[in-house]
Amino acid sequence: MPTHRICRLAELVPDTPRYARIDNIDVFVALHADRVYALQNRCGHAGAALNQGECTDGLIVCPPPMALYHLSDNSRLRKFGELLEGIETLPIRTFPVEIRDGDVFVSIPEISKLESAVG
């Protein structure tokens, strides 16, 4: 799986998403509780860019507050305090993160593997 350098770890502001485009895939990274997470940068419900949302308490809030996702495992949580059980929400992907020599690297599977995982 190809690995891509995103930034220096010191450049990440806690609980502030940072956008990156890797091999035509929109990704955001976020530092929370001394751990860096990388997720697909599109809400599975509204298609909004998640890096423009608010990151708090280990959750990312879709910018037009539609859904909340856990940074740790991308699971959706709530919509305006209601469970999202009745709302069609596509899954969003998480990507492996590695810190090497103070740099943040994200591993992205090849496009063909991403497509086969979807369908």
Among 20-24, 38-42, 57-61, 102-106, the minimum mean pLDDT is found in 57-61
Element (H, E) at 92: none
Dump pLDDT digits (tens) for 15-47. 999 999 998 899 999 999 999 999 999 887 778
Residue 63 domain-assigned (yes or no): yes
Is 52 part of a structural domain of the chain?
yes
User: What's the CA gap between 11 and 85, in Å, rounded?
Assistant: 37
What is Dmax (Cα atoms) for the chain? Answer: 45
Beta bridge partners of 18: 29
Contacts of 9 (CB under 8 A, 6+ apart): 31, 36, 99, 102, 103, 104
Higher pLDDT, 94 or 85: 94
Q: What is the CATH number of the domain that holds 45?
A: 2.102.10.10
User: For residue 78, which of 65, 63, 91, 90 has the smallest C-alpha distance?
Assistant: 65
For residue 107, give its domain range: 3-79+89-118
Q: How many structural domains does the chain have?
A: 1
CA distance 17 to 89: 21
Is 84 a member of any domain?
A: no
